[in-house]
Amino acid sequence: MIREQHSIYLDYAAATPLDPRVRLAMEPYWQEDFYNPSSPYMAGRAVRRDIEAARARVAHWIGARATEITFTAGATESINIAIHGVMQQFSGASMVTLGTEHDAVLQSAAKYRHAIAPVKATGAVDMDALEKLLADDVVLLSIAYANNELGTIQPLPRISQLAQKIRRDRQAKGNTLPLYIHTDASQAAGFLDLHATRLGVDLLTLNGAKMYGPKQTGVLYCKAGTRIQSPFTGGGQEGGVRSGTENIAGIVGLATALDLVQEDRHEAHAKYMALRAELQRRIVEALPHTTVNGDLKHRLPNSLHMSWPGVDGERLVMWLDEHGVMAATGSACAANKQTVSHVLVACGMEDSLMQGSLRVTVGALTTPEDVSRAAAYIIQGVTSLT
């Protein structure tokens, strides 16, 4: 991967560069193998086989059947299909989600009767409060595997156990409504186990752009038997769930990227934790009034979210950018709207800390030298802007 000279990129939660091995896998489908995979002739059938091979590789990492994998145009589309596809099946039913979820989840949930489960200051779901909200009419629970701002990892297996208990109680009462669990695992790929059965989820979202794959590529895993109605109409591609001529290069690129990050995830986990720990150590030692946010035990290994009272986070990001360090105050979507992070609001963070927050995420191109230089700039920036 190529990096801009003298710059330090620390916003891997927003976007990752395309892995050269992924680009190489995609290249044939831009010109030589451009055929429509729905075509009846041999060349079309050949690219259809490549799509199905990619589907099988993705299914492998999710512990799924190939028929349970749908390729989409990104995580937002995958999330919309999951939520609308379920909720449209059950008139009058409701769903539950968290206030820390991506806008794609929150805005989709807003179309239906829904409840927002509270989170702790760390961003972790309050399990007792969640249980109370899972009323008899709830058919969908949507909780991100790992938060895109704080890096907090949610206890999906515990949540699944709770859902199983509720399903048994419903069965005993003669309530035939299902209770499905959807998780947005976009930030988790390359760091965590994605096996759907072990996680206990019925629907799972992935995003190629977050794992060194192509942008505008995504996956929706839908467990067999899950009632879902596609919001799309068209030619019936992707099992009728996501009609439209398939993006062959993107599909092959996403599958290749997923192979690479999942095969290397244990090594990457250790590398990123060491880089993150050194960056955090340097900053906290120099700025002891630093607040490190999120769940410090259960967070992604590359994620560091910090706050300083009296600092304007937006000004700090601009100051760092002028000095060649690319970081963010939160998610790219929220930053683009110049709004206060709804994630930090949901966590109950004090206004002064919300305004003075910074998210840095290390990645494949980050070096120890980058960490040293970035820490020095962050320290200098916070000091000068206080």
Active site residues: 333
CA distance 46 to 359: 44
Q: Within its chain, how far is the Cα of 333 from the centroid?
A: 13
Whether residue 13 contacts residue 341, with contact meaning beta carbons closer than 8 Å, is answered with no
How many angstroms separate the first and last alpha carbons of the chain?
36
**Residue 180 CA from chain centroid, whole number:** 19
Helix (H) / strand (E) element for 358: namely: strand 357-361
Token couple for 21:
């091995």
**Which residue blocks in the chain are alpha helix, DSSP H?**
20-26, 42-62, 75-87, 103-109, 127-133, 156-173, 196-199, 248-263, 265-286, 313-322, 332-337, 342-346, 351-355, 368-385
Tokens of 32: 């030589």
**Distance between CA 164 and CA 217 in Å, rounded?**
32
DSSP bridge pairs for 113: 94
3-class secondary-structure state, position 190: coil
